[in-house]
Amino acid sequence: MAPNVLLHGVGAIGAIYLHLLLKAGCRVTAVCRSNYDAVKANGFTIDSVLYNTKDVHVKATDVVRSPSEAAAHGPFDFLVVTTKALPDAKTAAAIAPAVTDGKTCIVLIQNGVGIEDEYVARFPGNPLLSCAVYLPSTQISPGRIQMGNQELLEFGTFPDTAYDDSAAVKAAADSWLEITKKGGSNCVFQPNIQVQRWKKLMLNASWNPICALTLSRDVAFYLATDVAEHVVLEVMLEIVHVAQALGFSEITPEMTEKQIGNARKRIPGPGIEPSMLVDVLNGRRMEVEAIVGHPVREAKRLGVSVPRLETLYALAKALDDAIAFRKPGQSLSGDYKRV
Amino acid sequence: MAPNVLLHGVGAIGAIYLHLLLKAGCRVTAVCRSNYDAVKANGFTIDSVLYNTKDVHVKATDVVRSPSEAAAHGPFDFLVVTTKALPDAKTAAAIAPAVTDGKTCIVLIQNGVGIEDEYVARFPGNPLLSCAVYLPSTQISPGRIQMGNQELLEFGTFPDTAYDDSAAVKAAADSWLEITKKGGSNCVFQPNIQVQRWKKLMLNASWNPICALTLSRDVAFYLATDVAEHVVLEVMLEIVHVAQALGFSEITPEMTEKQIGNARKRIPGPGIEPSMLVDVLNGRRMEVEAIVGHPVREAKRLGVSVPRLETLYALAKALDDAIAFRKPGQSLSGDYKRV
């Protein structure tokens, strides 16, 4: 029988996997929130540089407003989370009505580190897959998606050892690989997915808060001072040091050079807008804890010095608060009303 | 004869000294820029917590638009600069038409460090006084000033040794002390004014960029994370280390505790808005180089490690660029148009 999939929080990233999972023959229910009305009426419309396609219409098998509403379309083989990893979201609790204990495999397509714990605590008997995704994609208006030139989905089990320790987890992981590849995804099984997450964090924990705090694209930050490159490199190195203290010896200082080189190559173009910059420019919450806060806490636990990352964390969280607590039309500095 | 004074760039700070210098019996010409029309017509109106006064009207002897226009009212005994210390302003060149070589004493009432060099280079034969001012004051509309509960004007000669080495400089400094005190200023001669500037920098180089980058008052930043206090303390300590490397042994690590204590005491009130936060909320340029950039360059020259200050510098300068280069109505991230 065709796998029955629930996509929770279908925005830019979710829409691409909706497209691929439908192509793989899955039955897919989409939980849409801010874009519900548009998607319910017209589905998604996707332009893709990678696939060289325009105006591709994509309609989920069912479109619902919440996991509770989705439950009628279950039981689900996979429940794929593509929302932002925000602590206040309490996503594990939110999806519970659509999770069949011991059966539904939960797939997290989210940035950051330390994001799996709430799912393990809530669903100890369910297979859990953790993914690092490289997929530049934007929802320019409700249901309208522009996808860039890359789609790479690295995934593994949580914890890593579960693949070998549990036949049910192994079966779920193998099935996820099979259906995503069948749909055309560049999906790769990673026995050490946490290493991949920390590798991606080198990029995310540096450029994301830096661009959000400066309201600048990466190239603009790079060109503003003669110390910018050194600052970015040092932040990346701090992530390397924490990763190595965690035992991830595959993550090396040399990797930072390649990452900074990618930014250098974008000069003198416009550069890129990391997700946190897009969030702050749109007055939305940023994934500060998953991307910056968790590594800072890990560094403290492990006794690793991360002065720059800690500074970025304190700054980014305060900016996130300023956005969250301001009144509409009020200066962001008016946030003292919250005390 | 009454001293003839030119005030260059009369905003919130300048208006208070205009008031005090007039009370001292000086003839005062005011160079007003954005507030010219209002001040020319109505003068300044000052409310003061310190003086417990409301609606005090203050009219300069003459109001002009530029130092060139001011020249007709010269020669000047004192030329007081109360503009922001921005590198692009080229203030030394701008005031030249109103400076009488070898006579006019130039008084800098500005934040930051390293600000005196352009004046020494341009006017090597003129007395130069450098001031650290503690005067919470805001121009809430053109010509309308709200002053807080403090006015402290610490000043010295530049260089410090000029007071003893030059009879003309000593005479100018003594005269400045006399007239400001006569006007009611809490003015104090400091033989080592650079020490006072670096002491003030402990406060300015930390809270100014931190609040500007987070769009938050000090209290909001303090409450946003449990690492905030540590971050602020460490930034202040980096300033202490640079100051000590410069030979300013009067500036000690213990001083940082008192400074952070002042912020702690403001909880749970609204906290304060440092000038850079006010600037960024109003889309104006910030004094990044004088307050953060110069100490970072001094640290590099002296081999002092300042990772957090360097990070704040790179961030604040990029934010300042984002503000400067954006098009009206355009997202701040649209700054790539400048390349």
| pLDDT tens string B174-221 | 999 999 999 999 999 999 999 999 999 999 999 999 999 999 999 999
Stretch B19-41: mean pLDDT: 97
The backbone region for B187, taken as left when phi is positive above 0, alpha when psi lies in -120 to 50, beta otherwise, is: beta
Which of B214, B270, B335 is nearest residue A315 as measured by Cβ atoms? B214
Strands B187-189 and B137-141: unpaired
Q: Report d(CA B228, CA B232) in Å as an integer.
A: 6
What pLDDT sits at residue A339?
A: 30
The per-residue pLDDT for range B140-155, each reduced to its tens digit, is 999 999 999 999 999 9
- Of residues A164 and B330, which shows the higher confidence score? A164
Q: Among B291, B304, B198, B321, which residue's Cα sits nearest to residue B252?
A: B198
Q: Report d(CA A146, CA A139) in Å as an integer.
A: 6
Record: contact B331-A281, CB cut-off 8 A:
yes
Strands B152-157 and B128-134: antiparallel
What pLDDT sits at residue A328?
A: 54
Chain B contact for A313 (CB, 8 A cutoff):
yes
CB B202 within 8 A of CB B259: yes
Q: Report d(CA B163, CA A193) in Å as an integer.
A: 68
Chain B contact for A140 (CB, 8 A cutoff):
no
Record: contact A215-B322, CB cut-off 8 A:
yes
The per-residue pLDDT for range A192-215, each reduced to its tens digit, is 999 999 999 999 999 999 999 999
Which of B269, B281, B314 is nearest residue A333 as measured by Cβ atoms? B281
Write out chain B residues lying below 8 Å of A338, CB-based. 220
Write out chain A residues lying below 8 Å of B335, CB-based. 216-217, 220
What pLDDT sits at residue B314?
A: 98
Which of B221, B267, B307 is nearest residue A307 as measured by Cβ atoms? B307
Record: contact B335-A217, CB cut-off 8 A:
yes
The per-residue pLDDT for range B225-242, each reduced to its tens digit, is 999 999 999 999 999 999
What pLDDT sits at residue B154?
A: 98
Chain A segment 248-287 residues within 8 A of B by beta carbon are 267-271, 273, 277, 281
The per-residue pLDDT for range A255-293, each reduced to its tens digit, is 999 989 888 998 888 888 899 998 888 888 999 999 999
What pLDDT sits at residue A122?
A: 97
What pLDDT sits at residue B328?
A: 54
pLDDT of B38 above 50: yes
Distances (CA, A) of A289 to A111, A294, B217, B302: 11, 6, 21, 36
Radius of gyration of chain A (CA): 20
pLDDT of B87 above 90: no
Share of residues in chain B with pLDDT > 90 (%): 85
Chain B contact for A234 (CB, 8 A cutoff):
yes
DSSP assignment letter at B87: G
Radius of gyration of chain B (CA): 20
Chain A segment 159-218 residues within 8 A of B by beta carbon are 210-211, 213-217
Record: contact B319-A234, CB cut-off 8 A:
no
Domains in chain B, please, with CATH? 4-191 (3.40.50.720), 194-338 (1.10.1040.10)
pLDDT of A70 above 70: yes
Instruction: List CB contacts of A262: < 8 A, sequence separation 6 or more.
Output: none
CB B51 within 8 A of CB B40: no
Record: contact A220-B311, CB cut-off 8 A:
no
Record: contact B213-A319, CB cut-off 8 A:
yes
Which of B221, B308, B333 is nearest residue A215 as measured by Cβ atoms? B333
CA of B226: which chain A residue's CA is closest? A314
CA of A297: which chain B residue's CA is closest? B227
Where b means 16+ CB within 10 Å and e means fewer, A297-312 reads: bbbeeeebebbbbbbb
- Of residues B80 and B336, which shows the higher confidence score? B80
Stretch A160-170: mean pLDDT: 97
Q: Report d(CA B112, CA B198) in Å as an integer.
A: 8
Stretch A161-167: mean pLDDT: 97
Least confident of A314-323, B269-278, B313-322: B269-278
Chain A contact for B229 (CB, 8 A cutoff):
no
- What's the ipTM? 0.92
What pLDDT sits at residue B335?
A: 44
The backbone region for B64, taken as left when phi is positive above 0, alpha when psi lies in -120 to 50, beta otherwise, is: beta
Q: Among A289, A203, A325, which residue's Cα sits nearest to residue B227?
A: A289
